Amino acid sequence: MSSPSPQLGRRERNKLEKLERITAAASELFAKHGIEDVTTQQIADRADIGTGTLFLYAKSKGELLLLVQNEHYAHALEQGQAAAGKTADVLDGVLAIVTPIVECNRVQVENGRTYLREMVFGDPAEPRHAEALEIVAQTQEALAAVLGRHERIGESEATTLAGVVSAVMFLAMAASINAQRSTVEVIGAIRAQVSAILPH
């Protein structure tokens, strides 16, 4: 994370610094132990704040996971968009976007699956949930832009297909049957399904 801007007031800088410490602490502990085996007290201790302060930033472990994963997911999407810009083939472009997102989601498989559940079933009024849904929307826009390169796919169809590709990706990441499969196998399965729905 970048350092807080010196143009912010001291109170805003302190809030941002605490948020960064919380995000770093939760990210480290979740990656090492998994969300189920980490307590909010451990996260507060690692971030060097009280639990009361922690709950001002996130009311539950689910929200803390959204906080952590949203940041990772947004970075993965940026990587995918940059890679897609260097591809000529539409299928390769779609997979360029999908691959870093799947890799990010499966750094810790159960965390990734829990993140998807929180995204789908979490409180839509919670800001971390809203951020997650915004990243999903940005992902679909990026996919639509790549799909729109296909000579037989119009703008409206590209938007519809982007939603289908996104659903395929999320189901592949969330499905219990894929929990034990390698990331390469999951991406391969997504590639096969996307290839099947593209015009030939």
3-class state of residue 98 by DSSP: helix
175 φ, ψ to 5°? -60, 130
Those residues whose C-beta lies under 8 Å from the C-beta of residue 50, and which sit 6 or more positions away, are 44
- Give the tens place of pLDDT for each residue, 61-89: 989 999 999 999 999 999 999 999 999 99
Beta-strand runs (E) in 27-181: none
Q: Which amino acid is at 7?
A: Q
H/E/C letters for each residue in 135-191? HHHHHHHHHHHHHCCCCCCCHHHHHHHHHHHHHHHHHHHHCHHHCCCCHHHHHHHHH
The whole-number pLDDT of residue 3 equals: 53
176 class by beta-carbon count within 10 Å (0-12 exposed, 13-18 middle, 19+ buried): exposed
pTM: 0.88
- Give the tens place of pLDDT for each residue, 16-27: 999 999 999 999
* Cα–Cα distance measured from residue 61 to residue 26, given in angstroms and rounded to the nearest whole number: 9
